[in-house]
Structure 1
Amino acid sequence: MTNPSPLAPPLAPPFGRTLCAMITPFTEAGALDLDGAQRLAGLLVSRGCDGLVVNGTTGESPTTSDTEKAALVRAVREAVGARASVVAGVGTSDTRHTVELALRAEKAGADGALVVTPYYSRPPREAVEAHFRDIADASGLPLMLYDIPARTGTRIEPETLIRLAEHPRVVAVKDCSYDFLGAQKVMSRTDLAYYAGCDEHILALYAVGAAGCVSTVANVIPRHIDAILAAFDAGDTAGAAQGQRQATPLIEAMTAAGLPGTVTAKALLNALGLPSGPVRPPLRPADRPTTTALLSAYGALSAP
C-alpha cells in the first residue's frame, strides 16, 4: 500500500463502518449454538451493523475448537449473505496454526481475517512483523491486524504497521492500543483502515479518519453505535458527541467494570431474551447484582 494522497478521495472501508465483535452463542449444555448465532447475526445486521467479527475475543476464541470456528463462519455467512462483511478471528500464539485457521476461514466464506499479535511468547518486533507477513502471504483474505497489548503483552509498533501496510493484503487495524498519537501517526502515513476496538474511542478515532469500529457494546445497542457514526458523517458533530456520551455509562459497565466484555454482553443478551447462552470456563457468568446494574444502564440508554 502507498501513502494516501491528501487530494485523493477517501477509500471505502474494506469491511464496512459499524462492525460488531459478536459473541458466540452456546446452548445451555455448552455446545455451539449455530441457530442462535444465525438469529443474532441477522438481528445485528438488521439493526445497523454492516460487518460482523466472529471468533474474536468477545467470541471466546480461546475456548472454541478449530472445527467450531469454521462452522460459525459458515453459519454467519449463510445468515447475512451479502448484507454484511464477515471477518473471522484467526489469531493464535502459533504462526502455523494461525495460517491454518486463516485458510479454513477463507474456505468457510469469510471476507477477511482478524489476526492478533502472538501472545505469551512475546516475540520481538521483527518476529511480530514476520508473523503477519507469513499469514498475509499464505491466505487470500485481506487482514485486519489486532493491536491489543494489554492482552497479548506485545505491541504492534507504529513503525511495524507502516511497513506492513506495504503488503497488499494487510488492509486494516483493530486498535486497542490506547495510543491515540500512534494511531494518528499510522493513519497519516498509510491507507490502513483503522477500526476503534475500544468502545470509548469510537467517535474520537472516527473523527480523525478511522474507518469505523469493531464494537463489543454493539451486541446490545447496534442502532445506537451506528447512529453515532451516521451523525458524524452527516455533519452533526454535536449529535454524534451526544450519542457517544449517552453510551458512556453502558460502555463503562460492559467493558471497564472488572469483567470481560464477553461476560457482560452475554449477561445482557440473556436477560433480554436474545441468543447468547453461557460463557465457557475459565470465564464465569455475571452475578445477579452485576446483571441488574447492566440492565439499568441499558434501560437508561434505551429510554425515550
Structure 2
Amino acid sequence: MRLSGSITALATPFTAAGELDLDAWHKLLAAQLQGGTQAVVVAGSTGEAAALYDAEYDLLLRTAVEAVAGRIPVLAGTGLSNTAKTIELTRRAAALGADAALVVTPPYVRPTQAGLIAHYRAIADDGALPIVLYNVPGRTGGDLLPQTVAALVDHPRIVGIKEAVAEAARMDALLAFKSDGFAVLSGDDPTACRAMLTGADGIVSVGSNVLPAAFRRLADLARAGRREAAEAWDARLRPAYDFLGVEPNPIPVKALLAAQGLGHGLRLPLQSLSPAHDEAARRIAALVIELEHAGREPIAA
C-alpha cells in the first residue's frame, strides 16, 4: 500500500447529548469522497480517540470501512501508551476492516529511542496491519528522531511516517528515507505545502475535514512541483490555518463542522470554542465555502 496526497484525520461528530452522531459521520465521509480526499484516518487525535469507548471506536471504524467501500484507504488510530495494548487494538482494527494503522509514539510514558524501536518493531512483527509511524511531540511528550526512523524503515510492515514537527530540517532528514515502500507525510497543515514541494508524499490534515477539495488541490499542485501555483493557493488557505490553531485541536475544526451542521461539540475535558473566537469562526466558515468552491475548479495547465 502506498499512501499519498490529501489524507484527512477525521473529527468525530457528537450529538447535542454527547452521543456519536452517525448521520453527521456519514455526511462527513461522503463529503471527503466527493472532495477528492485520498485516504482517511479514523480515531486519531483529531477524532478524540482518547474520549471514545471501545464500542464507539468499533462502530466508527466499521461504518467508515463500509461507507468508503474500498475507494480509498482507511487508517485506524491504534497508538496507545503500552505496546501490548497497541498490538491488541491494531488486531481489532484489522478485524474491522482497516487498511493500515496510524500508530502515534506512546503518549505520556516518554520511552527512550531504543524503546521506540522495540515498540514499533513489536507491532509491525505482529503483522496485523501495515503501520504508519506518527510523531507529534507536542501531544505525546516524546520525539521519534530521524535516526530512530532510519532503524525502522526497512521493516516490510512499516509503510510510512506522519511527521508533525514543523521545522524544514526535520522534513528534509526524513525525506532521505522515502522509497516505494515508505511514504513521508506531513502532519502539519501550515507547512505541508513546503513539505510536499520538497518531496513529501502528502499530508494528513485537520483542515481537510472542512476543506477536502481545497486540500486535494493543494496536494495536487505541490506534488506536481508547481511551486508558484501551490504557494499562491497555500496563501489563500493561510487564514484557515491560523484559525485552526487558535485553540487546541480539534476545538476550532469542530466549530467549523458545527457551522456545517456536522456535530454539536466535544467531550470533556475539551470544550467548545471560546466566545472570543466566534467572529473569527463565522468569517472562516464563510471563507471555507469560498475555498471549497474554488478548490473544485479544474487546475489550469
1:111 pairs with one of 99, 103, 118: 99
- Give the AA of the match of 1:197: G
Name the residue aligned to 1:196: 186
Structure 1 residues 32-41 or 212-221, which shifts more?
A: 32-41
Deviation at 1:89, TM superposition (A): 0.3
Q: Quote the RMSD (CA, aligned, Å).
A: 1.6
- Check the 8 A contact 1:112/1:144 in 2, yes or no: yes
Unmatched segments (≥5 aa) in structure 1: 1-12
Q: Normalized against structure 2, the TM-score is what?
A: 0.91
Q: After the TM superposition, which of the residue ranges 56-65 and 133-142 deviates more from structure 2?
A: 133-142
In structure 1, what is the equivalent of residue 66 of structure 2? 78
CA contact (8 A) 1:162 1:190 kept: no
What pairs up with 1:272-283 in 2 under 5 angstroms?
272-273=260-261, 275-283=262-270
Query: Is residue 244 of structure 1 aligned with residue 234 of structure 2?
Result: yes
Question: Percent of aligned positions with the same letter in both sequences?
Answer: 34
* Pair 1:33 & 2:24 matched: no
CA–CA distance in 1 between the matches of 2:237 and 2:167? 22
State the partner residue of 1:291: 278
**How far did residue 277 of structure 1 move?**
2.4
Bigger Cα displacement from structure 2, 289-298 vs 58-67: 289-298
1:241–1:301 distance in 2 versus 1, CA, 3 Å = farther
Q: Distance in 2 between matches of 1:120 and 1:133?
A: 20
Output the CA distance in 1 between the equivalents of 2:119 and 2:254. Answer: 32
Aligned length: 289
Counterpart of 1:144, as a letter, is: V
TM alignment of 1:83-232, pairs within 5 A: 83-191=71-179, 192-232=182-222
What is the match of residue 297 of structure 2?
none
Rounded Cα–Cα distance in structure 2 between residues aligned with 1:268 and 1:40: 12
Structure 1 contact 85–111 (Cα < 8 Å) conserved: yes
Equivalents in 1 of 2:207, 2:72: separation in Å? 18
Query: Aligned ranges for residues 258-273 of structure 1 at < 5 Å?
Result: 259-273=247-261
Residues 113-169 of structure 1: CA deviation (Å, up to 9, x unaligned): 010111211111111111111111123311111101111111101111011001101
Q: Which residue of 2 aligns with 1:6?
A: none
Structure 2: give runs of 5+ residues left out of the alignment. Answer: 295-301
Inter-CA distance 38–107: structure 2 relative to 1 (3 Å threshold):
same
